Structure formats: structure tokens, C-alpha cells
Amino acid sequence: MDAISVIRAKRDRETLTDEQIDWVIDAYTRGEVADEQMAALAMAVLLNGMTRAETARWTAAMIASGERMDFSSLPRPTADKHSTGGVGDKITLPLAPLVAACGAAVPQLSGRGLGHTGGTLDKLESIPGWRALLSNDEMMAVLRDVGAVICAAGDGLAPADKKLYALRDVTGTVEAIPLIASSIMSKKIAEGTGALVLDVKVGSGAFMKNIDDARELASTMVALGTDHGVRTTALLTDMSTPLGLTAGNALEVRESVEVLAGGGPADVVELTVALAREMLAGAGVHGKDPETALRDGSAMDVWRRMIAAQGGDPDAPLPVAREQHVVTAPSTGLLTELDAYAVGLCAWRLGAGRARKEDPVQAGAGVELHAKPGDTVREGEPLLTLHTDTPERFEYALAPLDGGITVAAPGTPFTPSPVILDRIG
């Protein structure tokens, strides 16, 4: 085997053999295949695609590059969720304890934000004392005792993906659907969960801007999960406007706690409950309904125990940004657009996100929404509140909002987009 022959095969639209795929992933992980050679192969995949069999084998090779976790010793079945990323997407925070309160175990391996999309670990690290880094033994202990854990993936899971993702990020090949699907699914399958629900976002604030591309990605990932013996379904969900009323780290934790207390924004509650039901069905658990667990306080109990088990104080005050700036409605009428990407970019520039993985984030930074599309607003009244510790960021953060907010005349017909657009699997 040699890298050049594999690159030429995919360049010429040939189907890669199992042996070629296994060799190139292993050799790249070991450093035998150079970055520039793997970049050329990734570009060939972007331009020419992969068959289902190729994508499945590519995924299997990335799984084989590292360890696989085993939750078979747990007293209850496992279920996990993965979101392709959005603005205000705090769903993992209330979802994991909710599903655990209903009878399944949730080993949720999450990541950090990059660019305009927020990261679950960044949000939770705004809770004083909370730890994202757990050993495998610590993770299993929390799962046995609490039923849910949210933590960072260890270096041993799919190391080939970690190396390849960093390369794709700087070579213009992130958009290749076979590589997106195999990247996500290699980690989730190696994680060892019994059931997986995918939340594939669609819209301006999502990676997939249109529903056809989102449906292709979702179908590819569901097929990969099925091929590897993991019960997998996907929901396509709207990301044309932010989820809930906050985009930021501590701001989203606060809102998540409101949901667990039986309140919170309707769209966050709807999606959390829908995903919980999918996870429980995939795990074969048919006990308490998620809506009941939100009302009776059992989901909140699991949240508090989960946070405490990872060193956090569930009663500690959350960080608050030192400075605020209010954006008012430009006119009186019906708010018909509050663009998710614009709000996400604004929150990122305020300090809630990072441009590089090494960058720090501000726990209190972000955007608070006072209205959502479909609401009537009045000229001069608060529409958004921007939060940051560094007020010199305000001018830079406000720029993306220009053109991202539309207020139509009173009485203008408006049909809100449903939260859940489709289901696959």
C-alpha cells in the first residue's frame, strides 16, 4: 500500500477497497501518511463522494484506531444524543438528567464551542467547581450512581478522527458529508452507547443550511449507526432562529435549570421532551414519561446529583457579565426574523465563543432575547441584551445584527417554523 495510489483511486472516482481504507487510516494515525497526502485524499472525497460501504469501512477504521468503551456492566440500558451544533442549543443540559430520571443511563461525551456555535462543556464550566475531564473509571462511577454524566471524550476514542478533523478544518474539506458523518459516528460508536439519537440542525445558524443536505447527512449517519449495531434515529430541527431566549454559557445554564424546574421557553421544552422520548424508545425503556419527570422534580434531582458528582456546586451563583448593552426594536410591528447566525456571531464576538480551540471564553458573555419571531414588538423597547466583561467588544458584536433583524408592519401574515422538521430512522 502507498498513499499516492489511494489518492489517485479516489481522484479518479474509483471505489476504495477495505484494505486501502484500513491502511490509509492506520498509516495516517501513525504518521506514515503525511498531512498533505491526507489533505489531498480528503479533497478527493469532498469532490467525488463515497459509497455507503466505503463510508462504513472508513468509520470502522477510525473506531479501530483507538479504544472502545463498554457499558454492559451498568444496571440499565444506555442512550446518547448528538447535535450537529447551533445557537442557543443548550438541550444536552436538561436532556441528560431528564432521560436518566426516566430510567436510561446517559453517557454523554460532549465538546467545546468553535466559531458561532456554542459548546456544552463551555456552558457547564461556568458552574463553579464543575469538571469536564473524567477518567473512564470516574465516568462509570457517576453513571452507576447518578445515571447521567456529561464529560469530555478521552484521547483514546477515535484518535484518527481527532487528527483528521484538525486537518479538514484548515484545508477546506469540512463540508464532505461522508467525512462529517464518519467523524461524528466513529466517536459515538466507540463510546459504546446502545442507542443514539441525532439532532441535525437546519438553517442559517446550523452547519447544514438547507433541509436536503441535512437529510442526506442524517440518513448517512443513521445508516452508519445501523451498520455498526447501534439503534440510531435522527430528528431534523430548525436553526433559523436561536433556541430559547439565551445564547452564551452561564446564560444557557440558567435557562436549562428553568426547564428542569418545569418552566423555560416552549421551544426548548418541546425539543428536549421529543429527544428524550426518542432516546428512551431506542433504549427500550418504557417507564416514566419525560413531561412527568419535568413536572415532579425528578429530572431536577438528577441534575443536582450529576453536577455535584463532577465537582460542581448546583447552588452556587452563576457568573454575570460586568457590562450590558440593550438593542431596541427599530420599529413597532411583528418580529418576523431574528437570524440565528447573526445572534451566534454576536455572542461569539462578545466573548462567549472562540476562534481557535486554545482561546478562552467568558462565562457570562452572550445574548439574551426579549422576543422571538412571531412576537409583536414596540419601537424603542428592548429586543436583545448583550452581555460581556469587555465593553470594547460591543461595536464589533453589534455589526452582525445589521440585516439579521426584521420587523414587519402590524398584521403581516406570519407562519412560524416548526421546531421539528422531520424524523429519519
- The residues annotated with a catalytic role in the active site are 82, 161, 168, 183, 187
Which residues partner with 382 through β-bridges?
Answer: 328
Considering only CA atoms, which of 9, 33, 37, 35 is closest in space to residue 23? 33
Task: From residue 237, give the alpha-carbon distance in Å to each of 19, 118, 119, 137, 403.
Answer: 37, 16, 18, 35, 23
Q: Using CB atoms within 10 A of its CB, is residue 382 exposed (0-12), middle (13-18) or buried (19+)?
A: middle
Give the pairing type, strands 382-388 and 420-424: unpaired
Nearest to 50 by CA among 238, 220, 250: 220
Q: How far apart are CA 401 and CA 117, in angstroms?
A: 16
Beta carbons of 110 and 96 less than 8 angstroms apart: no
Closest CA to 170 of 377, 357, 425, 373: 357
Phi/psi region, residue 197 (left: phi>0; alpha: psi -120 to 50; beta: rest), is: beta
Strand partners, 387: 324, 366
Chain-centre distance of CA 174, in angstroms? 16
Lookup: cell for 132: 469536564
Grid coordinates of 301: 434531582
How many alpha carbons fall within 13 Å on the CB side of residue 58?
26
